[in-house]
Chain A
Amino acid sequence: MRVKHPRNALVVGGVFVLVAIIYYLVSHDAGGTTTLAALGIAMGLAAYALVVGTSDDL
């Protein structure tokens, strides 16, 4: 997977944070927003680590 800059992988996390924000605005559900926002953080971290961790050849 050729990502130009590994930091672009953080977009994955950003998507979920965006969903969390939209969700909070429409529902004001504190619990669900927390899990969605945490998901954004965790996904961003995982995507970044996996992309950075992979060799350039593949």
Chain B
Amino acid sequence: MGINFGDARSFKMAVVADYYVNPQSYPKLPEVNSVYEQLSEAGYGIIKMPHPTMVGKGTEGWITSTVDQIQEYSNRGFKLFVLGVEGIAGKGIWIEALKIEIKKRGLPMPESIVLKKTQLSEPEEALKAILKRASS
């Protein structure tokens, strides 16, 4: 199906909360987590949502463009999952708004995982299962 891309891409991606790339911006959550490293090492592309308090009036633009990507990649057979974090409004990914936009377009919701605060210091186990499932 589709075209021959003929390059190094993995066809795998995660839509993630800003926290996972920039944990230093979140004093109430663990200062370090290995999610970025794990995704990066597993060859996942990252579609990162912005920092929740830095978006202002622009939320709708980020939601629309993120769902545009989910729709386009899914239509072309790329694998994609959504990764939020407990303890931030909207799980750091505006999860309700994403769901509404996805439903409005009649698309299936990608697999979505929200890591709990207790999983953040050692997310390896939770992520291992997810990464395995998402790439199968």
Bound pair: A and B?
no
| Interface residue ranges, B against A (CB under 8 Å) | none
